[in-house]
Chain A
């Protein structure tokens, strides 16, 4: 029963914070709320017996990526979006497009509900007992044997992304 309560609490935090991320006009508040959302998701990962994923979520998402976002928001001093002006001029607000967009959104919701109702619900986790499936030992064993090639490919990908980011964000005047 405590698990159920924890699930609902974490889910409520995750959904509420996510909705506020989108609703906020101030990018700084959006980023801070996204950290709260990621924290709640990390709690859900612990519930799902995936402590390593939860810790990686906290360290990489809330720690690294969000700090990067905060840096950029502060660096650009991004202005708040003006709500009234936003409502008036948004292209999705204009007649036909708004109706078409609503139709597509409705279709997406119907499709998702249909898909969710179609899944057979599994009531309890299967396999090893709690704590064993997602342990660092089990995860590392699979990661460094079966998936060692994707692992190395990912490291190359991150290197490429790092070089690309440096090249993109470099000042032109630095070349001379």
Chain B
């Protein structure tokens, strides 16, 4: 397979994730969309690493995975906290900062 096939796949997955972030109203659904977007970046990094013969891209993929762990942990802690304060995980109902 050529490099372009992988880039196309990554673009499609990124768009699906972006659409999810935009349209889901469940906070957990939004976090899942973010995970999809981060994964599409990983596909690009690994594909470029393989097709340029440079291992740096794969190292960066590992960093991306580590940062995703941090993001998921903090994000889910925020969701739990929000649920405790507002008794809801629907993003539309979280308008605490609205005047």
Contact = CB atoms under 8 A, between A and B. Distances in A.
The prevalent SS among residues of B at the interface is: helix
Contacts of A48: 6, 46-47, 49-50
Contacts of B70: 157-158, 160-161
B3 interface: yes
Contacts of B76: 68-69, 72, 165
Max chain B C-beta neighbours (<10 A), residue from A150, A161, A162: A161
B55 A139 contact: yes
Contacts of B24: 22, 81
A90 B25 contact: yes
18 contacts: A22-B20, A30-B29, A31-B28, A34-B35, A37-B36, A48-B6, A48-B46, A48-B47, A48-B49, A52-B58, A65-B69, A76-B28, A76-B89, A116-B11, A119-B4, A138-B55, A154-B63, A169-B77
Contact of A112 (B11, B20, B47, B65): B11
A13 to B, nearest CB: 11
A86 B29 CA distance: 14
Contact of B59 (A60, A125, A142): A142
Contacts, number: 208
Interface of A: 3-4, 7, 11, 14-15, 18-19, 21-22, 27, 30-31, 34, 37-38, 41, 44-45, 47-50, 52-53, 56-57, 60-61, 64-65, 68-69, 72-73, 75-76, 78, 81, 86, 89-92, 101, 105, 108-109, 112, 116, 119, 121-123, 125-128, 133-134, 138-139, 142-143, 147, 150, 154, 157-158, 160-162, 164-166, 168-169, 171
B66 A157 contact: yes
A164 B52 CA distance: 38
